[in-house]
Amino acid sequence: MRMKAAALAAAVSLSVVLAPVAAADPSVDKFGGWNHLVDNGDQVITIWKVSGLKPSTDTIPGYPLAGTLWEATAKVRAARGTVTPIIPDFNARANGANYPVLWQAATPQGISGATLQQGDTSWGKLYFDVTGPAPTSVVYNNGVEDLLVWK
């Protein structure tokens, strides 16, 4: 009897370990809202705010655009722990079109990727080279899934 109980307990434990982890839905907010990005077992919390997605009148010297320059204003706060903003994870989106942030095109108005200490904030612009339909949202995507969305 003990063998059956032990075998059953082992099978249940194995099924819990092998069960697929459900992907969490991304945090979705309106432009101007704050979205929380929780990492490292709740030890690091980054709070992002994105607003003002629109065609830009700024110029990016030395960067050859393929389309039209768009911008959004972003603010980041290190709510818990030390935070390094990962700017390349941002994309502007339109139905079926994805426009990666121009993180490599540094400008004085652009948001910095410098590390922030807990409680510190930084703000600046995100730029996108829009080569198709006008974007209607900005997403923070880790390369696998959207984590934060502003519409």
Continuous segment of H or E residues that includes residue 99: strand 97-100
The structure tokens listed for 43 are 């030890």
Number of domains in the chain: 1
**Domain of 121, in residue numbers:** 27-150
The secondary structure of 100-148, three-state, reads EECCCCCCCCECCCCCECCCCEEEEEEEEEECCCCCCEEEEECCCCEEE
Does residue 22 form part of some domain? no
What is the tens place of the pLDDT at every residue in 49-81? 999 999 999 999 888 999 999 999 999 999 999
Classify residue 130: in a domain, yes or no: yes
Q: Indicate the average pLDDT of the chain.
A: 86
Query: Is 2 a member of any domain?
Result: no
Q: Is residue 78 part of a domain?
A: yes
pLDDT digits (tens, 9 = 90+) for 79-124: 999 999 999 999 999 998 999 999 988 889 999 999 999 999 999 9
